[in-house]
Structure 1
Amino acid sequence: MHNLPNSPVLRLNLTNTVKLLTTFLSLVPQKDPDSIEKRIEKGQNPLGNCPTCNGAMWLNQEKYGTYIACK
């Protein structure tokens, strides 16, 4: 792999980064695209739970953009 000075870098140094990325990428699984709607209908949190603390995940908006975090 070439080291390009202007290319984006993704470092997975945190212990639960892979779990969080997997959770994020599986929010709308290809096999069940309406799973978020089903969760809302059942009264469940549509974004799932944090893999670290099992708390509900929510969208947070800050000046640099929107991100998903537990509260």
Structure 2
Amino acid sequence: MAQKQYDVTGMSCEHCVASVTEEVSEVPGVSEVVVDLAANTVTVHGTDLDDERLRAAIVEAGYVVADSVAA
């Protein structure tokens, strides 16, 4: 199982968590999405994770990907 973590700006509440989780969960291969508001990170677990599609899903939810923290 692969893991990718992103710094994401603009998240501030549980609605933000739900929006990001919903969009990222729709990306093929994603099995789990963990959003940490305090750390402003989104951690994605799954197989054959496509970095570009994950970033696009976060942007689609209305947030900015600051950087990829870990691959």
TM-score (norm 1): 0.27
Give the TM-score taking structure 2 as reference length. Answer: 0.27
Q: Comparing both chains, which one has the higher relative contact order based on Cα–Cα distances under 8 Å and sequence gaps of 6 or more?
A: 2
More helix by share: 2
Larger Rg: 1
